[in-house]
Amino acid sequence: MINCVSILGSTGSIGRQSLDIIDNLGLPVAALTAGSNAERMAQQCRKYLPKLAVMSTEATAGELKDAIADLPVQVMWGEEGLIHAATMEEADCVITAVVGMVGLKPTLAAIRAGKRIGLANKETLVCAGELVMAEAEKYNTEIIPVDSEHSAIFQCLMGSAGADIEKIHLTASGGPFRTWSREDIAKATRQQALNHPNWSMGSKITIDSATMMNKGLEIIEARWLFGTPGDKIEVVIHPESIIHSMIEFEDGSVLAQMGMPDMRGPIGYAMAFPERIPYDAKPLDLPAPPVPQPLPKDESIPAELDAPKAEQGESKLRRDRERRRPENRENRGERPQNHKPAERRDKPKSDKPENKPRPQQEKPKAQNDKPKKDKPQQEPKPAEGAQAPKEGGDYKRRNHRGGRRNHRGGGNKPQGGKPQAPKAE
């Protein structure tokens, strides 16, 4: 758990939701930065009393300074102010929620200062991912993603015990124009593009989500955050935004992180990691399990992505899993389960009934029952006119029962080459 926070971009959507989590945790705020909204920044300064407040321009910094002249808050502006806010000694976590590549230098400064980075500024990795990740490794700095998709992947990896990733499945709602035709999209208004069906976000990321351009940036971000090649990152359409992303491992297992669409979840996880904190989240209700679908092949999509080449209505995830299964085991030198040798396969079936009656079990003997002694076999009388058998006869046939008893307990044996009749017991 962290002790103090600096928020770069506190007046935006991510910044305001980060302050909601701070209210819940009761954490102090070291610094707040904003673009041009001096009025909202003044309100935040009065509530959270940061040591430093930064605006993007000198003019807006002057407005803020006049509005909070009675507060013990230092006011700065520009890139220098951002870097100062990112490296303040009091803060041990920096939430980078500014828009665009303006967040690159303060993020690098915070990494070199050993701060935990709650990364919501994806452009930092899009324009300099290799450099940023190398610096994080050099200074042993934690970078915890705040994007819902990348936070989901990060959380799933916590239970993977270092297993290699076979594929990352980034989910996308499809935005407000998912079911629109190209002709209708050409007539869309700005207000319609800002009407996202699931998420409450800033205007830039909402527009990027409507055109699906945001998902292209997230592919690049995932490539650098998790060291995964681009050909192992797939985008699937999931209109409900319940499954935030999935990872697939070499053994075919898939881990998914689910929850209601609320950015306070990933923000709180980045602040409290490795712990989790409660907040007034809407509980997840799954009357029917949502199933993500692959990006459509022939349907209208506003922005071109390197979508998986899946057949119509077929899940790429399912196809990859089936490809690894032994579909044709004979080609692998193995016998299929239903394999039978040819000579046995052509063998006619037995005339005996398949369902044989079960033998009746003998009733247990009572304790006072005495075992019955075997009666000696009597020679059958020959019919009238029939020739009597010769003495001795067939030894094996006549003495079968007696011979078996003799084998067990010792008894009559033929002597002198001539068999004898068994003695009666």
Share of the chain above pLDDT 70, in %: 67
Mean pLDDT, residues 300-320 taken together: 45
What token pair was written down for 287? 């009357």
pLDDT the model gives residue 212: 85
Please say whether the beta carbons of 239 and 178 come within 8 A.
Answer: yes
Query: From CA 391, how far away is CA 398, in angstroms rounded?
Result: 11
Query: From CA 225, how far away is CA 50, in angstroms rounded?
Result: 31
Q: Where do the DSSP E strands lie in 200-298?
A: 233-237, 243-249, 254-258, 293-294
Give the pLDDT band (50/70/90) at residue 143. very high
Highest mean pLDDT among 159-163, 252-256, 347-351, 413-417: 252-256
H-type helices in 227-354, by residue range?
A: 264-272, 316-324, 342-345
Whether the pLDDT of residue 6 is over 80: the answer is yes
Q: Where do the DSSP E strands lie in 44-193?
A: 52-55, 74-77, 93-96, 116-119, 143-145, 165-172
Determine how many CB atoms are found less than 10 A away from the CB of residue 341: 9
Burial class (CB in 10 A: 0-12, 13-18, 19+), 195: middle
Residues 6 or more apart from 418 whose CB is under 8 A from it? 392
Can you tell me whether residue 6 is helix, strand or coil? Answer: strand
pLDDT the model gives residue 394: 47
Domains, the chain, with CATH or none:
1-146+263-279 (3.40.50.720), 148-261+295-325 (no CATH)
Q: Is the peptide bond before 274 cis (omega within 30 degrees of 0)?
A: yes
Separation of CA 274 from chain center: 18
Residue with more model confidence, 304 or 53 = 53
Can you tell me whether residue 175 is helix, strand or coil? Answer: coil
Q: How far is CA 378 from CA 360, 398, 425, in A?
A: 30, 11, 13
Tens of pLDDT, residue by residue over 330-379, are 554 555 555 555 454 444 555 555 555 555 555 555 555 555 555 555 55
pLDDT the model gives residue 371: 52
Tens of pLDDT, residue by residue over 13-34, are 999 999 999 998 899 999 999 9
Please say whether the beta carbons of 191 and 245 come within 8 A.
Answer: no
pLDDT the model gives residue 28: 96
Tens of pLDDT, residue by residue over 207-250, are 888 888 889 999 999 999 999 999 999 999 998 889 999 999 98
Average pLDDT, the chain: 79
Mean pLDDT, residues 380-386 taken together: 54
Output the pTM of the full model. Answer: 0.66
Can you tell me whether residue 80 is helix, strand or coil? Answer: helix
Please say whether the beta carbons of 21 and 264 come within 8 A.
Answer: yes
Highest mean pLDDT among 62-76, 185-199, 317-331, 335-349: 62-76
Mean pLDDT, residues 282-306 taken together: 60
